[in-house]
Structure 1
C-alpha cells in the first residue's frame, strides 16, 4: 500500500481515484462516487484496502459538501470542482465507511500494524459524523 500519511487522499489509491474523478465528465461524477460506495457497502466479508481507500476518498468528497464538512485542500484530490452531489449519497457513504471501519477491513488490519491506527480511525469517524449529522 503506497501510503504516506493518514489523510483521506494520502495514499496512491485515493490519489489515483481523485484523477479518475477529474477524468470523468461532470454529469457522471456522482455515479462514479455512488458505484464506489456501493461496492464497499455491499462487501460481504473482507473489504480489500483498494476499495476501502476509494470509499474513504468518495465519502470525503461528499462530506465536503455537507454543513460543517471539511473542504478537500490536498493536492492529491480532484483538481476540478465537483457539481452539487445528491444528498442521497450521504447515507450510502456512511454504510461504506462502516465497512471500512469494520473488523473485516484490510485497511483496519494494515493501520493496526502501525502507530497511526487511532488518528487514521478518528479521521474516518469524523467523516462519518459529518455525513450522519447532515442526514439528521
Structure 2
C-alpha cells in the first residue's frame, strides 16, 4: 500500500470500504488513479479513473455535502466525466450520510460490469475530513508519481 492511498471505511461496518490508489499525473491536466471497492464477498477494481484539473471534482461535491449537515431530500449524484465512478449521496435522520460508490468500467463493452458499496458517515466533521482527504489524494504533486 502506497503512502498516497486513501482508504474510506464504512462507520457501521469496517469490512465495507473504498480505496483510492496508484495515483499518477500523466500530464498537467489530470490525475489518473484506481478505485477499489470491497465488502464481504466482493472485491472489485477500476483502473484509469481520471480527475481533470478543470472539471467539477469529487472533493467539492463532498465539501457541499459536509456544508449541508442539516440534511436534504432525495439523492445527490456526482460522477467522473467518463462515468466509471459514480457517488450517490443520501441523508438519513440522525445526521447520517450514505455514500454509494458505484464502479462501472467499460460501459460500452460487451460483458461490462457494475458494482456498488455504501459507506455511512456522520454529517459535518466526518464528511469535512473525508473531503480534505480526497482533495489531498486528487491534488497529487508533479514530483509524487506514485
The TM-score normalised by the length of structure 2 is: 0.30
Q: Which has the higher strand share?
A: 2
Greater radius of gyration (CA): 2
Which structure has greater helix proportion?
1
Q: What TM-score does the superposition give when structure 1 sets the normalisation length?
A: 0.31
